[in-house]
Amino acid sequence: MFSLNRQTEYALGFLKALSELEVGDFLSLRMFVGKNHYSLLLMQKVARILRMGKIIASERGKYGGYYLLENPRQLSVKDVVEAVEGDCGIAPCFKRKKCAMRKVCGQRRGLGDLDKAILGILEKTKIEDL
């Protein structure tokens, strides 16, 4: 079954919360995890990944916190999944461009259509839509 890992779930929840902030406002991790009952340690790791992916930035200080660098109307779920988990695909062979079994695999065509459909939905779904 296709599923998102916990880090991606945390990232999507955090980005949705950030997308609801007023311009110029910040959200601290402690406030976010307290409200959502998330693990602070895991959320710190997720925030670091999102910062490295240039999706969010932070402001230090007593009234600091995190804010979005990307427009939530343009930031797709696929962008977030790739930032957190790496390449998207329903099977390892779809994540890599080359597969040793490519020429003899009887499932590639059907699974390829499914992979494209899922990736299309992830690309079409924006953070604002969550």
Answer yes or no: is pLDDT of 25 > 90: yes
Answer yes or no: is pLDDT of 14 > 60: yes
Distance CA 106, CA 103 (A): 9
Closest C-alpha to 125, from 62, 84, 81, 89: 81
Contact 73, 118 (CB under 8 A): no
CB proximity list for 103: less than 8 A, separation 6 or greater? none
Which domains does the chain carry? 6-129 (1.10.10.10)
The pTM assigned to this predicted structure is 0.88
Q: How does pLDDT run across 49-84, given as a tens digit for each residue?
A: 999 999 999 999 888 899 999 999 999 999 999 999
Distance CA 126, CA 115 (A): 18
* pLDDT over 70 percentage in the chain: 96
